[in-house]
Structure 1
Amino acid sequence: MRKLIYGMNVSLDGYIAAPGDDISWGGPPSDELFQWWLDRERATSLMLYGRKLWETMSSYWPTGDQQPGASPAEIEFARNWRDTPKVVFSSTIDTVDWNTRLVTGDAVAEITRLKAEDGGPMGIGGATLAAAAMRAGLIDEYELAIYPVLTGAGTPFFTALDSWANLNLVETRTFPGGVVLTRYETKR
């Protein structure tokens, strides 16, 4: 059975985006944090995206390695992003590209099916998609890179749940700029 990991940059008050889908509050990550995300992406065998995050990622990373001043880590991230198989869950877009498959049906059923397959870890991103997986009890690990900023409102990292989810802390790490990484595994 595959492991499903939900990880994103998060404001101290728990938002992945400020009102208006504004993600500029985090600023560019430190080189050390960016390298951590790159290592995580390299270890991921399949990425699952909701529409909004897919649109954000696919608007930059297909050519991220060709941008002026791209760092070696950014070049590697772009190449890895293109090569990693991806699934986008959306009923509002018609086509996807860059080693990606589109699913328009029941996301929870498809994620459950994918988890049952053999293979490496899967990452999930996008608040709405991750919320559905959370409520279904499908997420095995949470990774939060918590930035020292309060947005006051926006898109929350966590959704309302029907029941508690007990977690085990597996890692904490501090990065430059006061960003604190916390990783938790779901108690089963």
Structure 2
Amino acid sequence: MRTLTYAMNVTLDGYIAARGDDIGWGVPGAELHQWYNDRAREIGVSLYGRKLWEVMSAHWPTADQQPDADPIEVEFARIWQATPKVVFSSTLDEVSGNARLFAGDAVAEIARLKADDGAPMEIGGATLAGAAMRAGLIDDYQVVTHPVLVGGGTPFFSALDSWVNLRLVETRTFPDGVVLSHYESRR
């Protein structure tokens, strides 16, 4: 059975995007970007909600070809391009690259994918991750907290029907005061 990790940049006040879907506060420094590259290399399937897919697919398919791209960005772009992706959306008509579109029951499809053998999966996008959280499908939470308060926007955690007990397995501080808190679900 595969594991499922929810990992995203988050503000100190708990948002993955500020009002207006602004994520400009979360640009990673070199050490954090390398951490993202290293973990992305281990991912077998990435699960995206529509909004996050639109952000990622607008940049990473050609990021390695940009003249101002640094080696860490080129590396991430190539890892991202090679990783199979499932995009969950009922409003998109198609997706491109190494991705497939799924418009049905997201929770059932995520559970089906988890039941397969294979490398770990990651999930991104607050709405999609929220549905997986409520269904008890997320095994790991990797909260990458940036030292900024934005006062509102899209929260990292959605409303839950019941508690999710977690166990802290790792903390790490990056330059610029960014802190990784890695938790496992205790079932």
2:31 is equivalent to residue 32 of structure 1: yes
Q: Which residue number corresponds to residue 145 of structure 2?
A: 146
* Structure 2 match to 1:119: 118
Q: Secondary structure at the match of 2:78?
A: helix
User: Paired residue for 2:10?
Assistant: 10
Q: Give deviations 1:51-97, integer Å, cap 9, x for gaps.
A: 00000000000001011221111111111111100000000001111
- The runs of 5 or more residues in structure 2 that have no matched partner are none
Distance 2:83 2:28 in 1: 22
The answer for the alignment partner of 2:57 in structure 1 is 58
**Which residue is equivalent to 2:73?**
74
SS in 1 for 2:159: coil
Whether 2:129 is the aligned partner of 1:130: answer yes
RMSD: 0.6
Aligned to 1:23: 23
Rounded Cα–Cα distance in structure 2 between residues aligned with 1:53 and 1:135: 19
Q: 2:114 & 2:33 partners in 1: Cα distance?
A: 27
**Residue 90 in structure 1 maps to residue 89 in structure 2:** yes
Segment of structure 1 superposing worse, 67-76 or 78-87: 67-76
**Alpha-carbon distance in 1 for matches of 2:7, 2:72:** 19
Match for 1:149: what amino acid? V
Q: In the alignment, what sits opposite 2:155?
A: 156
The amino acid that maps onto 1:55 is E
1:124 to partner: Cα distance: 0.2
What TM-score results when the alignment is normalised by the length of structure 1? 0.98
Amino acid corresponding to residue 17 of structure 1 in structure 2: A
Confirm or deny that 1:110 pairs with 2:109. yes
CA deviation after TM superposition for structure 1 residue 25, in Å:
1.9
Once residues 134 and 25 of structure 1 are traced to their aligned partners in structure 2, the CA distance between those partners, rounded to angstroms, is 25
Q: 1:59 and 1:43 mapped to 2: Cα distance?
A: 23
Question: In 2, distance between residues paired with 1:30 and 1:99?
Answer: 27
Q: Distance in 2 between matches of 1:96 and 1:105?
A: 15
Work out the CA distance in 1 between the residues paired with 2:22 and 2:166: 29
Q: Percent identity?
A: 70
Shift of 1:174: 0.4
Equivalent position amino acid for 1:12 in 2? L
Runs (5+) with no aligned partner, structure 1: none
Give 2:12's aligned amino acid.
L
Per-residue deviation, residues 81-137 of structure 1 (Å, max 9, x unmatched): 111000000000011111111000000000000000000100000010000000000
CA–CA distance in structure 2, aligned partners of residues 73 and 119 of structure 1: 26
Query: Secondary structure of 1:62's partner?
Result: coil
